[in-house]
């Protein structure tokens, strides 16, 4: 894992709605993703995590800030060549396998769609060979190419969605809750596949999720987002073992563990945003420990440091 930054997000702002009273879905978010790592973005519904993913994919327009891919700015207006490169190098896996495939198209077309767009193949035989190879690499049989999506189960459909992105030969894959809609025992299959592909093809992942137990298993670093702002960012084990921000703590304590002895008597510790008083002392993004960032104002930083040292 090199130290080179594949993706840099700087002060990203995404708003929806009228110009006078916009809704800040993403409010001044900054983070970097290094080449070869799996970066997790965790938050609840409405936190803005999907919006960030879509802004990077250029489906949503950004209203401020920069997104840099390999040093080049990719949000806003870009020229055709860079657009082509971005389409090729950054791809997305969607959440709902039932809705993310075109029901009326054969699997063959669904997987080849990217190839048709980029004209990235020689002859018709070439294209067929690429489709076959890709189906095999995601664990499906080549004969599935002539069938329709509705003939497959959720896990298989999600694999078709992954195959669709692989033909583009991407470097960065945004996985937007790729396993939330799948059955528990199928999730493991898809996660194993993602890990395998990462090793084989040297991919980098941005893994967006709300299921913290899965995120712990698959990511190297995690960022926690709440109402459009990042509240904490650290390496995965560090975050799970030494969470600092009260929202992160609340989130971690709410995960139900499969252990009846501890769970039965556990009481929920809800996060109350009013414990922060930001009227006179606005918070900033502080590196409170090496590679461990928190959103806090000075008073809070002082109390967090006390906690860490005690």
Partner 1 sequence: MRKPIQKIADNIDESLFTIHTFDASKAEQTGYSNYSYWRSTWQMFLKNKVAFFLMVLICILLIFTLIQPYLPYQKLPTEIYLDETTNMQLRNQHPSIEHWFGTNSIGQDLWSRIWSGTRTSLFIGFIVGLFEAVIGILIGAIWGYVRKLDRIITEIYNVWNNIPTTIILVLLTYILRPCLSTLIFAMCITGWLGMARFVRNLIVIIRDREYNLASRCLGTPTGRIIYKNLLPYLVSVIMLRLALAIPAAIGSEVFLTYIGLGLPVDIPSLGNLINEGRILMMSPDLRYQLFFPAIVLSVVTISFYVIGNAFADAADPRNHV
Partner 2 sequence: MKKILEIQDLVIKFNLRGKTLTAIRGASLDLYKGESLAIVGESGSGKSVFTKSCMGLLDQNGWIDSGHILYNDFDLGEFKTEKEWLNIRGKKIAMVFQDPMTSLNPLKTIGKQVEEAVLLHRKLKKSEAKKIVLSILDDVGIPEPEVRYKQYPFEFSGGMRQRVVIAIAVACNPEILICDEPTTALDVTIQAQIMDLLKNLQEKYNLSIIYITHDLGVVAHVADRVAVMYAGDIVEIGLSDEIFFDPRHPYTWALLSSLPQLGIKGEDLYAIQGTPPNLFKEIKGDAFAPRNPNALEIDFIHKPPYFEITDTHKAKTWLLDPRAPKVPRPALIEKLILEGNEVV
50 is a site residue for partner 1 (CB under 8 A): no
Identity of the residue, 11 or 117, whose beta carbon is nearer to partner 1 in the bound complex: 117
Cα 218 versus chain centre, distance: 12
61 is a site residue for partner 1 (CB under 8 A): no
Site for partner 2 in 267-286 (CB under 8 A): 267-268, 270-271
- Give the nearest distance from C-beta 60 to partner 1 in angstroms: 10
Closest CA to 23 of 48, 53, 58: 48
59 is a site residue for partner 1 (CB under 8 A): yes
Within 36-75, residue ranges assigned H as helices are 49-56
153 is a site residue for partner 2 (CB under 8 A): yes
- Give the nearest distance from C-beta 93 to partner 1 in angstroms: 9
- Give the nearest distance from C-beta 164 to partner 1 in angstroms: 7
Q: Does residue 161 contact residue 93 with C-beta atoms inside 8 Å?
A: yes
113 touches, from partner 1, partner 2, none (C-beta below 5 to 8 Å by class)? partner 1
Within 8 A by CB and 6+ apart from 191, the residues are 179, 214, 217, 218
- Give the nearest distance from C-beta 122 to partner 1 in angstroms: 19
259 is a site residue for partner 2 (CB under 8 A): yes
Greatest Cα-to-Cα distance within the chain, rounded to the nearest angstrom? 67
Considering only residues 69, 94, 205, 207, which one is a binding residue for partner 1 as defined by CB under 8 A? Answer: 94
Rounded CA-CA distance 125/131 in Å is: 10
Choices 24-32, 71-79, 152-160, 277-285 (CB under 8 A): range interacting with partner 2:
152-160
State how far the alpha carbon of 197 is from the alpha carbons of 67, 137, 146, 244, in Å: 25, 8, 24, 33
């Amino acid at each position: 894992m090199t130290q080179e930054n594949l993706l840099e997000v700087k002060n990203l702002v995404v708003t929806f709605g009228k110009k006078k009273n916009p809704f800040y879905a993403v409010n001044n978010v900054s983070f970097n993703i290094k080449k070869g790592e799996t970066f997790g973005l965790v938050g609840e519904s409405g936190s803005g995590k999907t919006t960030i993913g879509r802004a990077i994919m250029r489906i949503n327009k950004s209203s401020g800030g920069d997104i840099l891919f390999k040093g080049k700015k990719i949000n806003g207006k870009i020229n055709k060549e860079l657009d082509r490169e971005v389409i090729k190098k950054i791809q997305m896996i969607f959440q709902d396998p039932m809705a993310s495939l075109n029901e009326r198209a054969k699997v063959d077309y669904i997987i080849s769609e990217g190839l048709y767009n980029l004209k990235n193949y020689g002859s018709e035989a070439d294209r067929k060979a690429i489709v076959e190879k890709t189906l095999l690499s995601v664990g499906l049989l080549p004969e599935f190419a002539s069938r329709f999506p509705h003939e497959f189960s959720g896990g298989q459909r999600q694999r078709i969605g992954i195959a669709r992105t692989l033909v583009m030969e991407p470097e960065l894959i945004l996985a937007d809750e790729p396993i939330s809609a799948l059955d528990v025992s199928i999730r493991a299959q898809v996660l194993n596949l993602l890990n395998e592909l990462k090793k084989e093809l040297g991919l980098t992942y941005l893994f967006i999720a709300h299921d913290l137990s899965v995120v712990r298993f698959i990511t190297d670093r995690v960022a926690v987002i709440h109402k459009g702002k990042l509240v904490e960012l650290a390496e995965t084990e560090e975050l799970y073992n030494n969470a600092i921000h009260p929202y992160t703590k609340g989130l971690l304590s709410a995960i139900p563990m499969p252990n009846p002895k501890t769970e039965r008597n556990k009481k929920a510790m809800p996060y109350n945003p009013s414990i922060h008083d930001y009227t006179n002392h606005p918070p900033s993004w502080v590196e409170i420990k090496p590679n461990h960032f928190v959103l806090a104002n000075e008073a809070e930083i002082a109390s967090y440091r006390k906690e860490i040292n005690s």
